[in-house]
Structure 1
Amino acid sequence: MYLHSCDNKSYRGVSEFYSSFWYTLIMYSNKLSEILKQAHVHMKCPDAVERKLQKLIADGTNHLQVISDFDMTISKYKHLNKRCPSTHSILETNNMISDDIKKQLKDLKDKYYAIEIDHNLTNEEKVPYMIEWWTTAHDIIAKTKINRKHLQEGVSQSGIRLRDGCNELIEVLYENNIPLLIFSAGVGDVLQEALKQKSNFHPNMQIISNFMEFDDQGELTGFKGRLIHTFNKNESALDGDDYFELLTQRHNVILMGDMLGDTSMADGVQNLSACLKIGFLNAKFDELLDQFMDAWDIVLVDDQTMDVANAIVGEVAAKQST
């Protein structure tokens, strides 16, 4: 773990660093401090993390909201060393879709995914390509006339899994009335079905994603609403929705994602006070770690659990109940 201090403090070793870092938090629980000491947990600015954690805990559940990506953030990147599917992948590999359509969608992914993860391009330079990719893919998918019931079957037969401890996080957020906003560039209908099958979809949860439109017979006719791609998961995607305005008292945010573009998902939060950003680095660890540490407060390397988020929310909830 990096022990760099953004306040230019110096520590004589790990023990002195943690003695300072966790002095005020240790009175609540050893669980959080122990989890954040693990080797796969990285922080470029532990001082800033400490301040944000103290703010979240002090203000309690009534001032907290959680904003998260779905694919490879709430859902697992891999399970038993096998890649797990995204919501788009579940749809694109559905048995009701012809091989020709599947090939067209795969060709699109092969072409545009390389652009999406090209770190030599700025997000602004990538946006036109992402719009072209998503729009073309949605037009192709719309031609399949897939039925709504096939989505349920596709999810149940897929290998999609939620991160270990995700059910616990979802229930704790619900029990403490903490809003959970899921921003996803995937397919909202598949995402919601995955949550219903693998966990729960509670009233405190809202999804901003690409939702399908079906006719009276349940056949797909197209996609509705604003296109959501990797680099517009922020207030611009809400387009008139008063979600953040209704949560003005919830000025503290726990933000989770697995891509650099996810860090802007809290843009639009009213009177933002503390935003703790937790990034899941699922692959290309050596190549991307420094960039992730520049962008995220806490970086979790090859972690398929929600242990860190659960520990933090647990601390906030515990403080609120005392």
Structure 2
Amino acid sequence: RAQPGAVASNNAIAMMLAKPPSNFEAAIIGAMAAISALLVLRARRQVCDWSPSAPFHWERKRAAMADLTANDVMVITDFDATITTGDSEQCHDLVGGSRLLSNDFRKDFAPLLDWTTDANIDGVPWWDAAHKLMVKHGMPPRQLIPRLVREAKMVPRPGALELLKSLEQHNVPVLIVSAGLSDVIEEFLRQHGALSENVVICSNRLNYDADVAPKSVTPDPPITSFTKEYAYSSASSFFAEHKHRRAIIQLGDSLSDVDPAKKVPYDHLISIGFLNERPDGRKHGDAFDAVVCGNAGSVHPVADLIEDIVSAKAGVSAAFKRALSRSRDVGGLSRSRSPSMSSSSSSK
């Protein structure tokens, strides 16, 4: 049984709790809440690599696609640092720096591998210079490409091969739009058992005649990180064949990787960007609907999303919800959705 003094004390506490806080007390409470929120965000940054750029915007897009099936969807994806990890060798770098190729070729190609030596080699002229050197030196010989790829530091991103296998099983067409080299991409996919009939590669191709040396590189002008918007015309037969598919899942690591879909008619589009080790995710947050962090950031959450869509499941999968529950604010992601965004890119 409570003592009278204890009852009086409890009544006093109850009156204090019932009393509205003063402006000063309210400010203190607000500051403490803000600090708690910042601590939560910091903890999330340390444990998670996945984040919708704006959760409400993402869920609204996702809900709009709830009734779609595998017959409604196509996937447009980059290759370097998207299907491969962010720290993998990229197609041109793999060729230009390989010790399997001639010393003269590597000596001439070396300045192109060092972006700090000459500012003029950046941009579209970079690809022109690289391809001219390949033709001039006859590098790489066709028969060496399998070994080049096999010995390269080129690693599939976690979950990427499983994603490609799932898309093959569901007969979802995949267009790889890359500023790299078709020959390298095809060989990489072949060696990993992922070069299936539903995959079309839109990239720069080394043209070999009866000789083993490349005689030209097409298309001309080349596909670069700055001209991916023109993939619509370069891959016109792909889009004509799949014109009934009005939903696009787009994957890439560079801001320009959203460009290939700009001229494609669609009803639904969800884009996922791979930030890799870039220190600031704001631009990626504006360009993509969701961002995956880290050089080896997994494709599994993307696979969960696509699996839901192609399986015609309503709502969001439990696995995807778990990924979202660990979501983080990536380097200060914002959601301005500005219609004009930079196409600059450090990856090819």
The question of a shared fold, defined as TM-score above 0.5 by the shorter chain, is answered with yes
Aligned-pair CA distance for 1:112: 7.2
Q: Give the aligned partner of residue 69 of structure 1.
A: 78
Distance 1:298 1:250 in 2: 22
TM-score (norm 2): 0.71
Point out where structure 1 has 5 or more consecutive residues left out of the alignment. 1-11, 14-37, 78-82, 116-125
Q: Give the aligned partner of residue 89 of structure 2.
A: 85
Equivalent residues in 2 for 1:1-322 (5 A)?
Answer: 39-77=48-86, 83-111=87-115, 129-145=122-138, 146-226=140-220, 227-236=222-231, 238-239=233-234, 241-270=236-265, 272-285=266-279, 288-302=280-294, 303-319=296-312
Aligned-pair CA distance for 1:204: 0.8
Q: Which amino acid aligns with 1:153?
A: R
* Conservation of the 8 A alpha-carbon contact between 2:105 and 2:133: yes
* Conservation of the 8 A alpha-carbon contact between 2:274 and 2:292: yes
Report Cα offsets for 1:112-169 as digits up to 9, x if no partner: 7996xxxxxxxxxx9x942211001110111222321101111111121111111211
Count of residue correspondences: 270
Distance 2:131 2:230 in 1: 22
* Conservation of the 8 A alpha-carbon contact between 1:208 and 1:238: no
Distance 1:244 1:56 in 2: 20
Distance 1:134 1:60 in 2: 39
Aligned-pair CA distance for 1:211: 0.2
Distance 1:113 1:196 in 2: 35
Q: Give the aligned partner of residue 332 of structure 2.
A: none
**Aligned-residue identity in percent:** 25
Report Cα offsets for 1:159-211 as digits up to 9, x if no partner: 21111111211111111111100000001100110010023211111000000
Aligned-pair CA distance for 1:110: 2.1
Distance 2:287 2:104 in 1: 40
* Conservation of the 8 A alpha-carbon contact between 2:176 and 2:200: yes
Distance 2:50 2:143 in 1: 41
SS at match of 1:88: helix
Point out where structure 2 has 5 or more consecutive residues left out of the alignment. 1-32, 35-46, 315-348
Report Cα offsets for 1:70-124 as digits up to 9, x if no partner: 00000112xxxxx321111221123342334223323123237996xxxxxxxxx
Aligned-pair CA distance for 1:304: 3.0
Return closer, same or farther for 1:254/1:113 CA change in 2, 3 Å cut-off. farther
* Conservation of the 8 A alpha-carbon contact between 1:255 and 1:265: no
Q: Which amino acid aligns with 2:282?
A: D
SS at match of 1:243: helix
SS at match of 2:65: helix
Distance 2:235 2:193 in 1: 30
Distance 2:304 2:166 in 1: 11
TM-score (norm 1): 0.76
Q: Which amino acid aligns with 1:59?
A: L
Q: Which amino acid aligns with 1:312?
A: L
Distance 1:242 1:114 in 2: 38
SS at match of 1:265: helix
Distance 1:237 1:244 in 2: 7
Return closer, same or farther for 1:114/1:219 CA change in 2, 3 Å cut-off. closer
CA RMSD of aligned residues (A): 2.7
Q: Which amino acid aligns with 2:293?
A: V
Aligned-pair CA distance for 1:51: 1.8
Q: Which amino acid aligns with 1:253?
A: I
Distance 1:218 1:103 in 2: 21
SS at match of 2:114: helix
Aligned-pair CA distance for 1:276: 0.6
Distance 1:162 1:195 in 2: 9
